[in-house]
């Protein structure tokens, strides 16, 4: 005997059921954080009621008989993934995070896959999508359907003042003091963020590309310079023993004379897609936008235009547009160079592979500027970022489900990535020392942002800047100068603990490479006061 159950619903009833599902099953983090803020269970019902009003009203406005099913299926699938990342890592799906997702690579996506993600996807995405797919939409006339939607709309409009009157003392605090709670609503906030991203990316007036520093000139000061800028990933300043951390995570650098750590540097953003283009741009964090940065010369463009030999080697997620216009860009993300690489990724020391050969082959009468973009401490699979021999702290978390590991395991894995970064930087310095005969050499290291390691239930990075914890905005930074470089080491050590931001990088790099231009700001150049200006 065959049973055939057929569910018939009007569009309005399907909207009501779907809206309730979103509220009840996709907003655990929103209700959890709201309860922590207000401690009133009945107000949680009021918040649920308001969220239902917003979701159902949006669906009333944008859906019709032809798109309601595919629209709901897409929302269920995306919302299930959003619910997972918010609950597991404390992520907020902002417009910057959407940009970061779009610009990420397949290997980063692979690191974030897990059984738990597919459980969320199945029960919160696939199951309700199957329900929507199976539902037979009752074909009401336009008039009848319009009346049905108007009834729901009137109900929503009437519900809002009732909820306000019942909990008036809470709403003012919710909308003024606890604005960040709204960022955890699902799917409303990521829909808002997506609309904001799309508007900025595709529907704002195209910008004409702006060439800057056209007056730039390279000042000749004796022996040419060879400067390596190591662009780090997710390295926290407070996990460097150079900055007082209670673990010896910098045992390689500590053996090298005159390595200087900058302990008070703050980033432009909390994600690579923002920090990297911002730190190399003319713009400060206060007036930065992705569109302006990608339509304006970066400091890398200026260096190449004045005759510096520029090379960008990448083992992370690309230059985010910074190196898109230079001649020498090398991607090692998909290299298969033994013994540096396995089937999935390469260790950061691949960035030094044949680097000496490249230096030997360029015009050695000109200065050289090299960017090595490392994978560094990219999470959540910290244990994949370093060779086994650098696993000094055990046990380590061997899962991308960081919240299921102990705090000790997470920190151990992360600290091992810092140990390996420390080793890598020491190898960069060794490479530079081997070139001191022909060049004045220096290394400058700065991570793009910091990282959360479970503090307050938050992992990784990428929270909106104004609510992100300091550990996501406080990256590590280290400098080393060769014996003939035109910088007074004693002076640099005295200023190392001053407060700086990635806004300083643009003019600092111009200064290090002896570039004279009107856009150079000596007040923003970290090493300006320490430069030996009378060298011939």
pLDDT at 141: 82
- Helix extents (H) in 237-316: 272-279, 290-294, 299-305
pLDDT at 536: 42
pLDDT at 242: 98
90: pLDDT strictly greater than 90: no
**89 compared with 263, residue with greater pLDDT:** 263
pLDDT-derived band at 532 (thresholds 50, 70, 90) equals confident
Question: What does pTM read for this prediction?
Answer: 0.84
Per-residue pLDDT of 116-169, as tens digits, reads 999 999 999 999 999 999 999 998 888 898 999 999 999 999 999 999 999 988
513: pLDDT strictly greater than 80: yes
pLDDT at 202: 82
Answer yes or no: are the C-beta atoms of 167 and 46 closer than 8 Å.
Answer: yes
- Give the span between the Cα atoms of 430 and 352, in whole angstroms: 11
pLDDT at 3: 44
1: pLDDT strictly greater than 60: no
204: pLDDT strictly greater than 60: yes
Number of H helices, E strands in the chain: 19, 15
- Give the span between the Cα atoms of 367 and 362, in whole angstroms: 10
Per-residue pLDDT of 407-416, as tens digits, reads 999 999 999 9
pLDDT at 5: 58
pLDDT at 80: 97
- Give the span between the Cα atoms of 304 and 218, in whole angstroms: 10
pLDDT-derived band at 200 (thresholds 50, 70, 90) equals confident
375: pLDDT strictly greater than 70: yes
535: pLDDT strictly greater than 70: no
Question: Please, what is the Cα angle at 230 between 307 and 495, to 5 degrees?
Answer: 95
CA-CA distances (angstroms) from residue 225 to 301, 308, 435, 509, 515? 17, 9, 10, 12, 12
The token pair that represents 223 in the structure block: 């022996």
Per-residue pLDDT of 306-352, as tens digits, reads 999 999 999 998 999 999 999 999 999 888 899 999 878 899 999 99
Question: Please, what is the Cα angle at 525 between 522 and 530, to 5 degrees?
Answer: 95
**363 compared with 184, residue with greater pLDDT:** 184
The mean of the pLDDT values for the chain is: 93
- Give the span between the Cα atoms of 30 and 43, in whole angstroms: 13
pLDDT at 4: 56
Q: Which of 405, 404, 398, 402 is nearest to 384 (CA)?
A: 398
Question: Please, what is the Cα angle at 317 between 312 and 321, to 5 degrees?
Answer: 60
Q: Which burial class, exposed, middle or buried, applies to 324 when counting CB atoms under 10 A from its CB (0-12, 13-18, 19+)?
A: middle
The whole-number average pLDDT for the span 81-98 is 91
């Amino acid at each position: 005997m065959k049973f055939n159950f057929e569910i018939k619903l009007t569009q309005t009833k399907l909207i009501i059921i779907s809206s309730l599902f979103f509220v009840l099953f996709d907003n655990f983090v929103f209700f959890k954080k709201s309860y922590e803020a207000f401690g009133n269970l009945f107000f949680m019902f009021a918040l649920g009621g308001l969220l239902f009003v917003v979701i159902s009203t949006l669906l009333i406005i944008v859906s019709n008989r032809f798109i309601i099913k595919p629209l709901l299926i897409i929302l269920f699938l995306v919302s299930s993934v959003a619910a997972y990342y918010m609950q597991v890592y404390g992520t907020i799906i902002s417009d910057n995070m959407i940009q970061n997702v779009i610009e990420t690579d397949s290997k980063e996506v692979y690191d974030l896959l897990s059984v738990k993600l597919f459980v969320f996807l199945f029960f919160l995405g696939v199951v309700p999508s199957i329900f929507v797919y199976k539902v037979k939409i009752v074909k009401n006339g336009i008039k009848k359907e319009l009346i049905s939607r108007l009834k729901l709309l009137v109900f929503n409009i009437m519900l809002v003042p009732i909820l306000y009157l019942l909990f008036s003392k809470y709403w003012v605090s919710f909308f003024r003091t606890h604005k960040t709670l709204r960022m955890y609503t699902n799917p409303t906030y990521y829909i808002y963020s997506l609309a904001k991203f799309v508007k900025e990316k595709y529907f704002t007036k195209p910008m004409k590309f702006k060439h800057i520093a056209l007056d730039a000139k390279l000042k000749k000061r004796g022996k040419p310079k060879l400067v390596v800028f190591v662009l780090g990933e997710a390295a926290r300043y407070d996990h460097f023993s150079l900055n007082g951390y209670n673990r010896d995570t910098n045992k390689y650098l500590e053996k090298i004379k005159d390595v200087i750590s900058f302990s008070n540097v703050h980033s432009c953003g909390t994600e690579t897609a923002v920090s990297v283009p911002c730190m190399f741009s003319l713009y400060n964090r206060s007036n930065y936008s992705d569109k302006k940065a990608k339509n304006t010369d970066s400091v890398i463009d200026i260096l190449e235009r004045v005759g510096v030999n520029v090379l960008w080697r990448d083992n992370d997620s690309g230059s985010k547009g910074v190196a898109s216009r230079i001649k020498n860009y090398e991607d090692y993300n998909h290299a298969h160079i033994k013994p540096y690489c396995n089937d999935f990724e390469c260790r950061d020391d691949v960035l030094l592979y044949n680097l000496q050969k490249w230096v030997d082959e360029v015009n050695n009468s000109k200065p050289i500027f090299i960017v090595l973009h490392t994978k560094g401490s990219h999470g959540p699979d910290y244990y994949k970022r370093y060779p086994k021999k650098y696993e000094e702290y055990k046990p380590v978390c061997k899962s991308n489900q960081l919240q299921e590991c102990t705090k000790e395991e997470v920190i151990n894995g992360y600290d091992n990535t810092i140990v390996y970064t420390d080793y890598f930087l020491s190898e960069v310095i060794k490479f530079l020392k081997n070139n001191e005969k022909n060049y004045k050499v220096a290394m400058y290291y700065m991570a793009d942002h910091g990282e959360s390691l479970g503090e307050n239930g938050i992992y990784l990075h990428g929270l909106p800047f104004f609510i992100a914890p300091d550990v996501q905005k406080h990256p590590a930074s280290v400098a080393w100068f060769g014996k003939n470089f035109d910088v007074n080491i004693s002076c640099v050590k005295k200023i190392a603990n001053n407060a700086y931001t990635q806004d300083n990088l643009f003019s600092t790099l111009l200064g290090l490479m002896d570039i004279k231009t009107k856009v150079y700001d000596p007040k923003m150049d970290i090493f300006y006061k320490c430069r030996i200006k009378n060298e011939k």
